[in-house]
Structure 1
Amino acid sequence: MKQFLLLAACYLSLAHSLKSHIDEALEWRDRSIYQVLTDRILSDGRESLCKEDLKKYCGGTFRDVQRILPYVKERLGFDAIYISPFVENTEGGYHGYWAKNFYKVNPHFGTEEDLKQLVQSAHSLNMNVMVDVVFNHVGYVPEGNDFSDIVPFNKPDHFHDRCDIQQSDWDTNNRPNIERCRLCGLPDLNTESEDVKRVLFDWIRDDVIHKYGFDAIRIDTVRHINMRFWQELTQVILSDIPVFTLGEVMNGDINIVSEYQTSGGLDGLMNYPLYYQLVNTFVTGKQSVATLKDFHISEKISFKDLSMIGNFLDNHDVNRVMNQLSGRFKDKSEQRSVLLNMLCYIYLTQGIPILYYGTEALYSGGNDPQNRETFDPSIANLDNPVVHYIKTLNDLRREKHLPDLSIEYRHTEGRFLTMSRGREIYAILSNNQDEIVHETKVVTNHPYEEGDVLCNAFHEHDCVTIDEGKRMIIKLIQGYPKIYIPFLEI
Structure 2
Amino acid sequence: MNRIILILIAILLGVSSPAYANVTKENRQWQDETIYSIMIDRFNNGNTQNDFDVDTKNLEKYNGGDFQGIIDKLDYIKDMEFTAIRLTPIFDNRENGYHGYWVKDYYKVDEHFGTMKDFEKLVNEAHKRKLRVIIDFPANSEVKGKNLIDAATWWIKKTNIDGYSLPEVNKVPISFWREFSAAVKQEKKDFLLMGVSSGNTADDLEVYHEAGIDSLFDYNESEQMRQVFATTDRSFQSIPPAADKQNLDAHFFDNEFTKRFTKDIVDERQFPGARWKTALTYIYTTPGIPVMYYGTEIALTGGDIPDNRRLMNFRTEKDLIDYITKLGELRNQLPSLTRGTMEMLYEKSGMAVYKRVYKGETSIIAINNTNKSQKVTLTGDQVEGGKELRGLLGGDLVRSRDNQYILIVDRDNSEIYVLAEKTGFNLKFIAAAVIPGILAIWFLLLVFRRGKTNIVE
1:278 paired residue number: 225
The DSSP-based 3-state class of the residue aligned with 2:186 is coil
Q: Residue 320 of structure 1 is aligned with which of 260, 282, 290?
A: 260
Return the alpha-carbon distance in structure 2 between the equivalents of residues 309 and 132 of structure 1.
Answer: 16
Structure 1 residue 282: Cα displacement:
2.3
Contact 1:245 1:267 in 2 (8 A): yes
Return the alpha-carbon distance in structure 2 between the equivalents of residues 233 and 284 of structure 1.
Answer: 41
Return the alpha-carbon distance in structure 1 between the equivalents of residues 382 and 399 of structure 2.
Answer: 12
Query: Are 1:429 and 2:429 matched, yes or no?
Result: no
- Structure 2: runs of 5 or more not aligned: 1-26, 428-457
Contact 1:45 1:376 in 2 (8 A): no
- Structure 1: runs of 5 or more not aligned: 1-24, 139-152, 154-195, 301-305
Query: Are 1:35 and 2:37 matched, yes or no?
Result: yes
Structure 1 residue 485: Cα displacement:
2.5
Query: Are 1:80 and 2:84 matched, yes or no?
Result: yes
Amino acid at match of 1:481: S
Structure 1 residue 61: Cα displacement:
0.9
Contact 2:157 2:187 in 1 (8 A): no
Amino acid at match of 1:215: D
Structure 1 residue 85: Cα displacement:
0.5
Structure 1 residue 417: Cα displacement:
1.1
The DSSP-based 3-state class of the residue aligned with 1:94 is coil
TM-score, normalised via structure 2 length: 0.78
CA 376–329 in structure 1, closer or farther in 2 if over 3 Å, else same = closer
CA 50–424 in structure 1, closer or farther in 2 if over 3 Å, else same = farther
Query: Are 1:392 and 2:326 matched, yes or no?
Result: yes
1:191 paired residue number: none
Amino acid at match of 2:97: G
CA 250–344 in structure 1, closer or farther in 2 if over 3 Å, else same = farther
Query: Are 1:296 and 2:242 matched, yes or no?
Result: yes
Structure 1 residue 83: Cα displacement:
1.0
Q: Residue 346 of structure 1 is aligned with which of 283, 296, 319?
A: 283
Q: Residue 147 of structure 2 is aligned with which of 185, 199, 202?
A: 199
1:136 paired residue number: 140
Contact 2:153 2:187 in 1 (8 A): no
Matches within 5 A, 1:319-468: 319-330=259-270, 332=271, 335-377=272-314, 380-384=315-319, 386-401=320-335, 402-422=337-357, 423-433=361-371, 436=372, 438-444=373-379, 446-450=382-386, 452-460=387-395, 462-468=396-402
CA 26–381 in structure 1, closer or farther in 2 if over 3 Å, else same = closer
Return the alpha-carbon distance in structure 1 between the equivalents of residues 96 and 261 of structure 2.
Answer: 26
Post-superposition Cα deviations, 1:61-118, rounded to whole Å, max 9, x if no partner, equal 10110111111112x1011111110111111111111111222210110000000000
Q: Residue 109 of structure 1 is aligned with which of 86, 89, 113?
A: 113
Structure 1 residue 251: Cα displacement:
4.3
2:71 paired residue number: 66
Q: Residue 215 of structure 1 is aligned with which of 157, 162, 173?
A: 162
Query: Are 1:479 and 2:422 matched, yes or no?
Result: no
Contact 1:400 1:424 in 2 (8 A): no
The DSSP-based 3-state class of the residue aligned with 1:266 is coil
Contact 1:314 1:359 in 2 (8 A): no
Amino acid at match of 2:290: P
Amino acid at match of 2:325: K
The DSSP-based 3-state class of the residue aligned with 2:258 is coil
Return the alpha-carbon distance in structure 2 between the equivalents of residues 439 and 432 of structure 1.
Answer: 8
2:173 paired residue number: 226
Structure 1 residue 237: Cα displacement:
5.0
Return the alpha-carbon distance in structure 1 between the equivalents of residues 401 and 136 of structure 2.
Answer: 51
* Structure 1 runs of 4+ with >4 Å offset: 43-46, 284-287, 487-490
CA 26–246 in structure 1, closer or farther in 2 if over 3 Å, else same = farther
The DSSP-based 3-state class of the residue aligned with 1:483 is strand
CA 66–251 in structure 1, closer or farther in 2 if over 3 Å, else same = same
Post-superposition Cα deviations, 1:109-158, rounded to whole Å, max 9, x if no partner, equal 000000000000011111110011111025xxxxxxxxxxxxxx5xxxxx
CA 217–290 in structure 1, closer or farther in 2 if over 3 Å, else same = same
1:160 paired residue number: none
CA 92–84 in structure 1, closer or farther in 2 if over 3 Å, else same = same
